[in-house]
Amino acid sequence: MATADQGRRGGPAAPDPRSAADRLLDVLGAFDQDNQALTLTAVARRAGLRLTTAHRLVGTLTRWGALERDQAGVYRIGLRLWETAALAPRGVVLRQAAMPYLEDLYEATHENVHLAVRDGTDVVYIERISGRSAVGVRSQVGARWPLHATGVGLALLAHAEADLQEQVLGAPLAAFTPYTVTDPARLRRLLAEARRTGYAVSDRQITDDAVSVAAAVFGAGGALVAAVSVVVHAEDAHPRQLGPAVRVAARGISRALGWQPR
């Protein structure tokens, strides 16, 4: 797409092939889990923009409420973007439907409870309820991890279309601990096991002291929507005991979303 204001402002620098709209989104995209608070200079560097362009776009975003500027001149994501994003059907809307069942699962286990959705070959965490004495986990709300290494990811992958399974199984599989399953044949067996039992188990694949037990959530018409999990200390893990509880919670959420058992 043509860069609209390049001709007027470009000067001697090479033309920026991005449209003004793309550049605005690149400013938003400069913020992530590891970069939640950025100076103007950092925004410009991360978005690949000249300081004057970054200054103009950050001003536009701040006036709209997508960014907030503190007294030290540091920018963070603003409340109005949060309000708008709260309309995402896979974000807050799904979370609200799921919350009572996540609460029930938490009450029954007092362990970390997670809700996640798939995006490409990753999972994105939508909700987490953490027990105060529960095992430390690396899944923040809004964080993403590869499908093959997490309990929720395995539950989603086990019920995904064959094309997606082949895409994941055919690509290199990243390891996060010595226990991460990176052998496609072994991963295929894990997925078959998850389909057979109704729950997936990720044994110390993300951190070497945590086991996740997860089940898939379906919507109206049987569409795969999300997955729910309980994450426990590896030494206390009894997947066969946790599996049914996680399945019950996943079915409760599915029913709330309009799913009906065949």
- CB nearer a second copy, residue 190 or residue 227: 227
Under 8 Å CB-to-CB from 252, ≥6 apart: which residues? 100, 101, 104
Angstrom distance (rounded) from CA 248 to CA 239: 14
Q: Are 225 and 257 in contact (CB under 8 A)?
A: yes
Rounded least distance, CB 82 to a second copy, Å: 3
Q: Does 248 bind a second copy (CB under 8 A)?
A: no
Among 39, 84, 241, 260, binds a second copy (CB under 8 A): 84
Q: Which residue has the tokens 């945590």?
A: 210
What does the angle CA 157 – CA 161 – CA 162 come to, to the nearest 5 degrees?
95
Stretch that binds a second copy, among 1-9, 160-168, 218-226, 250-258 (CB under 8 A): 1-9
Among 114, 128, 148, 247, binds a second copy (CB under 8 A): 128
Rounded least distance, CB 94 to a second copy, Å: 10
Question: What residues pair up with 124 in beta bridges, in sequence order?
Answer: 117, 144
Q: What burial class does residue 168 get, using C-beta atoms within 10 Å of its C-beta: 0-12 exposed, 13-18 middle, 19+ buried?
A: buried
- CB nearer a second copy, residue 110 or residue 204: 110
Rounded least distance, CB 57 to a second copy, Å: 6
Rounded least distance, CB 66 to a second copy, Å: 7
Angstrom distance (rounded) from CA 98 to CA 92: 10
Q: Are 222 and 215 in contact (CB under 8 A)?
A: no
Each residue 10-29 as x (binds a second copy by CB under 8 A) or -, in order, gives ---------xxxxxxx--xx
Q: Which two tokens stand for residue 232?
A: 């426990």
94-109 vs 239-256: helix axis angle to the nearest 10?
150
Structural element, H or E, at residue 24: helix 20-29
Stretch that binds a second copy, among 121-129, 146-154, 207-215, 244-252 (CB under 8 A): 121-129
Each residue 36-65 as x (binds a second copy by CB under 8 A) or -, in order, gives x-------------------xx--xx--xx
Rounded least distance, CB 74 to a second copy, Å: 11
Q: Does 220 bind a second copy (CB under 8 A)?
A: no
Angstrom distance (rounded) from CA 28 to CA 125: 20
- CB nearer a second copy, residue 49 or residue 232: 49
Q: Which two tokens stand for residue 2?
A: 């043509």
Pairing of strands 200-203, 210-218: antiparallel
Q: Does 4 bind a second copy (CB under 8 A)?
A: yes
Among 15, 82, 174, 188, binds a second copy (CB under 8 A): 82
Reported in sequence order, the residue ranges of 101-209 that DSSP labels E, i.e. its strands, are 112-119, 122-129, 144-146, 200-203
Interface positions with a second copy (CB under 8 A): 1-2, 4-5, 8, 19-25, 28-29, 31-33, 36, 56-57, 60-61, 64-66, 68, 76-93, 96, 99-100, 103, 117, 119, 124, 128-130, 132, 141-142, 144
